[in-house]
Amino acid sequence: MRTLPVFDDVIEATGRIQPHIHRTPVLTSRTLNKMADAALFLKAENFQRVGAFKARGACNAIFALSEDEARHGVTTHSSGNHAQAIAFAAGLRGIPAIVVMPEDAPPVKVAAVQDYGAKIVWAGSTPLDREQTVQTVLEQTGAVFIHPSNDFYVIAGQGTAALELLEDVPDLDVVMTPVGGGGLLAGTALSVKALSPRTRVIGAEPETVDDAARSLRDGRIYPPTNAYTIADGLRTFLGDISFPIIYEHVSEIATVTEAGIVAAMRLIWERMKIIIEPSAAVPVAAVFEHPDLVCGRRIGIILSGGNVDLNHLPWS
């Protein structure tokens, strides 16, 4: 088997996951366009099952398993949307899911994963604790590990969002996504470069955790930083599957300020009346903090998700 997914794998993923996911709408706003001096096309993955694009990759990875592989279930480590997506997709397939979560994970996220029927195994909060706990789970259960981003099928699944976007709006100058582990950005790059080679693919990242920007610049994977960002889903780093794809196809990683993320999130809530999470606001912030990349152009943006704790909003 090839190590790196290609566009054919995205097409295969589309057929595989179509029964289980939503084809999300592409939204526009003339107010936003006026403010940005650009034509923005927002792919609303906040309306996706489990509230985020992660349902795509998780469904693709889980439904790609053979009966034999699937027999002992799946496992992953995540305290975010990937955990919910794995629990959701495993439930659809009717196989067990074990999610390794840090003991300090937000209760609302723990409850969401449990609601989808997954089992939670607790780990300490360091990456080493997490790895060791996953290793123990794998040895004890024989489950298949599905990485949140650096996975052949996860990347191919995430690419289906951009494929749909380009079907709806073929003539885009730029497609932007947030970048954390790089699964969405890599999958997006596969679709965009196959369907519209002239379209630039740009990642957007908080400047406090700019490892992807530095990785792209220097041609090697930098480890994650420990710095804070409100876009907590993006505090991860590229992997040996996501990085080569990004390095080949992505034009640029634009970094944005924390204040810019909060302002962009609030702007989308107020003007478009939809709920997006901080990570989804990162490429919107890039539109306003990097006008040179967008002015006068047609920009597709993947709004990655809408899972927010309504009790703790960044402006209250």
User: 123 near 77, Cβ under 8 Å?
Assistant: yes
Contact mark string toward its own copies, 287..306, x via CB under 8 A: -------------------x
Tell me the closest approach of the beta carbon of residue 310 to its own copies, in angstroms: 6
Contact status: 128 vs its own copies (CB under 8 A): no
112 or 212: CB nearest its own copies: 112
Mind giving me the DSSP string for 279-292? Answer: HHHHHHHHHHH-HH
* Nearest in space to 83 (alpha carbons), one of 130, 50, 123: 50
> In this chain, which of 1, 111, 128, 310 binds its own copies, going by CB under 8 A?
310
Please list, in sequence order, all residues whose beta carbon lies within 8 angstroms of the beta carbon of residue 81, skipping any fewer than 6 positions away: 50, 51, 52, 54, 233, 305, 307
Please list, in sequence order, all residues whose beta carbon lies within 8 angstroms of the beta carbon of residue 91, skipping any fewer than 6 positions away: 97, 116, 117, 118
Tell me if residue 279 is catalytic: no
Show contacts with its own copies in window 201-220 (CB under 8 A).
none
71 or 271: CB nearest its own copies: 271
Q: Which of the ranges 57-65, 90-98, 146-154, 268-276 carries the binding residues for its own copies, by CB under 8 A?
A: 268-276
| C-alpha dist (Å) from residue 14 to 17, 66, 148 | 6, 18, 19
> In this chain, which of 2, 34, 198, 273 binds its own copies, going by CB under 8 A?
273
Tell me if residue 54 is catalytic: yes
User: 130 near 148, Cβ under 8 Å?
Assistant: no
Contact status: 266 vs its own copies (CB under 8 A): yes
254 or 262: CB nearest its own copies: 262
> In this chain, which of 224, 274, 288, 298 binds its own copies, going by CB under 8 A?
274
* Nearest in space to 48 (alpha carbons), one of 38, 39, 59: 59
Contact mark string toward its own copies, 28..67, x via CB under 8 A: ------------------xx---x----------------
Q: Cα–Cα–Cα angle for 303, 12, 141, nearest 5°?
A: 85
Please list, in sequence order, all residues whose beta carbon lies within 8 angstroms of the beta carbon of residue 24, skipping any fewer than 6 positions away: 43, 44, 45, 47, 48, 161, 164
Tokens 């152009």: give the residue: 297
105 or 276: CB nearest its own copies: 276
Tell me the closest approach of the beta carbon of residue 100 to its own copies, in angstroms: 25
Annotated catalytic residues are 54, 304
User: What residue ranges bind its own copies (CB under 8 A)?
Assistant: 25, 46-47, 51, 266, 269-270, 272-276, 306, 310-311, 313, 315-316
